[in-house]
Structure 1
Amino acid sequence: MYVAVTNPRVLCLGEILFDCLADQLGRSLEQVESWTPYPGGAPANVACALVKLGTPAGFIGCVGQDEPGNNLVQLLQEVGVDSQGIQRHATAPTRQVYVVRSDKGDREFAGFGELDTTQFADAFLQASQLPESLFVDADFLVLGTLELAYPQTRKAIAQALQLAEQYDLKVVMDINWRPMFWPDSNAALPLIQEHLKHVDFLKIAKEEAELLFNTADAGAIVNKLDSVEGVLITDGDQEVKYCLNEYEDKLPAFSVDVKDTTGAGDGFVAGFIQQLCQHGLKCLATAESTRNVVKYASAVGALTTLKPGAIAAQPTAKEVGEFLKACP
């Protein structure tokens, strides 16, 4: 049990859902015999990971007035995530997504069952119901890009960005590219590019970097965007590349016994933000301290892969510290 703290320092806006993970590895959607639901959704994962690391966080999103929605809200409250920003939709169901896994545990999203992507509750987050009071004392706003796919939630993101500017929050975006969430995936890239103008720190996977920028060079992406303070590029169990406050380097990934990669990138984002919250932006003032921030983030991401599910596997600050001592 983690204790909720008022005035969350980090606000995470977007989707919360159930990842239905295939129980049988190495099989296609049609071949899977059974599924196990795990709570997930990138922004919700980040919020939970931050609280477990000791940084107060709040979640802003919409779930259905249904049992899955009740279970997700209860989970956030049990973890200690501030839930003032959660909206409930009277008729749209809470989203669930089916996830098949390779023999190595790598995941692939395989659809939403019988419903269209636009029919789930998270597509109906209302801008007018965002609690402005949450933004007054917060330091960071965390966004993905999946919710840009839906007109109403897109307006809510615009409102959140306006409040972030008004109250001087740093904006962290994790691209989290998933074409299946978009009714028209061709509309995605221009919308994502437009929103990058509001971002202070960008976390992006290597394949996403190549898709959006035709390069996986962090420094080159910083130069292309011009307005960001830093870019971090992850590549699964390969090295992390980064350009933060003009310090550009790469770091090998930790070698761990991977059980499930779901939520590893979200753990990385949480670890990065936790370090900025704990030490302030001065932790990016030298090459060595910047490298230590990325190393910490990588450790959180690695530890998240040791158990199935995104939230259940997330480490505490003590566990991260012990892991880093054992892996200098």
Structure 2
Amino acid sequence: MKFDVAVVADLCLDIVFAGDVTPIYGQVEQFVEDYQVELGGSAAIFASQLTKLGGRVGMLGTVGTDPFGNLLLQRLQELGISTEYIQPSPLFKTSVGLGLARGKDRAMLTYKGSLNDVTAERLRDSGLLEKSGHLHIASYFLLEQLQSYWLEELKLMKQTGITVSLDTNWAPKENWGAVHGVLEFVDVFIPNEEEALRISGKTNVEEAGAWLSRFGCLVVIKRGESGAMVFKGDAVLEYQVPGSLLKGLTIADTTGAGDNFDAGFIYAWLQHASLDECVELAMRCGTGSLSAMGGIAAQLTQTKKQLWNRLSVEAWEVLWKRILMLL
């Protein structure tokens, strides 16, 4: 395979402002503390982190023929992500995401623009999926024009042995049930807690995870500072964020933390690591990204040898603690 993972990108330019303010209409001007302009979109952040861990990513997307589009292409090249399947569109301006980060929360506005030109026809013609062993779907609701295509294509992929992971992200139209039809064809589903509750219609994370796992997928629910819960069949595992990751951590921005978590988990999962190892790496990637604005700047970068040496040590520590609890 040419690529370890294929992604279809909600590629945009992220402009993130940080400050303890709430926008006030009526021409009220307020100051913010900082800002960052960076490569954005869940799939792009995921692809960047996976690449830094040593994975090979094929990414299909669209940008406008404008300065923002040129900036995104340049940034992808700097990050070592192939632009072979990134197509400039003369029909739309480059998509832009505007975020206002305040402590552990953020508000987001998105101009879709070039995202509208990411089509099923382009994806079919590219042949990208045939060159990849795994597909990661991000922004399922944002790229709504692909939803019927995924329902058709994922059935075929299941038969050919290509594995699939999914992080829907937020549903701007609140049409959460639109994802139900594809879940049975997904191997790893990685929503955050609020998304899991809304998709399942349940009132707590335990019921949501149990309901989602009935589709047959491994369900990993991200819970922010509360860690993560993993549901596999009837088994439920709960993971806390290690104190070593929180010690001295100052949160600059939560943008991309969930996407970086996804990348860490999928990278380890594709290496046939244990669930403990997958979650450990996921938490390192997700928590590490919090220390800088934007989803890219503070991503984990290590050689494969450094990465797996540390993973093995920490996974054995987790396993030993579990054994002691059973004694």
Distance 2:70 2:141 in 1: 21
2:222 pairs with one of 217, 224, 234: 234
The residue matched to 1:26 in structure 2 has which SS? Answer: coil
Distance 1:206 1:150 in 2: 22
Distance 1:244 1:57, change over 3 A: farther
1:143 and 1:173 in contact (8 A); partners too: yes
Q: Structure 2 matches for 1:189-200, cutoff 5 A?
A: 189-200=176-187
Structure 1 residue 121, shift from structure 2 partner: 0.6
2:68 and 2:94 in contact (8 A); partners too: yes
Amino acid at match of 1:145: S
Q: Structure 2 matches for 1:198-213, cutoff 5 A?
A: 198-213=185-200
Distance 1:169 1:222, change over 3 A: farther
Distance 1:275 1:201 in 2: 12
The corresponding residue for 1:314 is: 299
> Could you report, residue by residue, the CA deviation over 1:237-261 in whole angstroms, capped at 9, with x for unpaired residues?
1121112466421111241332221
The corresponding residue for 1:143 is: 137
> Could you report, residue by residue, the CA deviation over 1:90-144 in whole angstroms, capped at 9, with x for unpaired residues?
0311111221121x253221x24xxxx5x51112212222255332241211112
Distance 1:175 1:32 in 2: 33
Runs of at least 5 residues in structure 1 that lack an aligned partner in the other structure: 1-5, 180-184, 284-288
Residue 89 (structure 1) aligned with residue 83 (structure 2) = no
TM-score by length of 1: 0.80
> Could you report, residue by residue, the CA deviation over 1:6-44 in whole angstroms, capped at 9, with x for unpaired residues?
811101113011221114x11123455464322211011
The corresponding residue for 1:260 is: 253
Distance 1:121 1:165 in 2: 30
Distance 1:321 1:136 in 2: 29
Distance 1:224 1:105, change over 3 A: closer
Amino acid at match of 2:240: P
The corresponding residue for 2:7 is: 12
2:93 and 2:113 in contact (8 A); partners too: yes
1:14 and 1:147 in contact (8 A); partners too: no
Structure 1 residue 204, shift from structure 2 partner: 1.0
1:126 and 1:156 in contact (8 A); partners too: no
Distance 1:159 1:86 in 2: 23
Amino acid at match of 1:192: V
The corresponding residue for 1:182 is: none
1:65 and 1:89 in contact (8 A); partners too: yes
The residue matched to 2:196 in structure 1 has which SS? Answer: helix
Amino acid at match of 1:108: A
1:27 and 1:101 in contact (8 A); partners too: no
Distance 2:70 2:153 in 1: 24
The corresponding residue for 2:323 is: none
1:264 and 1:301 in contact (8 A); partners too: yes
Residue 298 (structure 1) aligned with residue 283 (structure 2) = yes
Runs of at least 5 residues in structure 2 that lack an aligned partner in the other structure: 318-327
Structure 1 residue 194, shift from structure 2 partner: 2.5
Distance 1:292 1:219, change over 3 A: farther
What RMSD in Å do the two structures reach over aligned CA positions?
A: 2.9
2:154 pairs with one of 146, 150, 161: 161
The corresponding residue for 1:175 is: 168
Bigger Rg over Cα: 2
The residue matched to 1:84 in structure 2 has which SS? Answer: coil
1:42 and 1:263 in contact (8 A); partners too: yes
Amino acid at match of 2:276: R
Amino acid at match of 1:106: D
The corresponding residue for 1:286 is: none
Amino acid at match of 1:241: M
Amino acid at match of 2:255: T
1:269 pairs with one of 262, 286, 293: 262
TM-score by length of 2: 0.81
Count of matched residue pairs: 300
Identity %: 25
1:52 and 1:317 in contact (8 A); partners too: yes
Further displaced range: 71-80 or 217-226: 217-226
Distance 1:133 1:218, change over 3 A: farther
The residue matched to 1:82 in structure 2 has which SS? Answer: coil
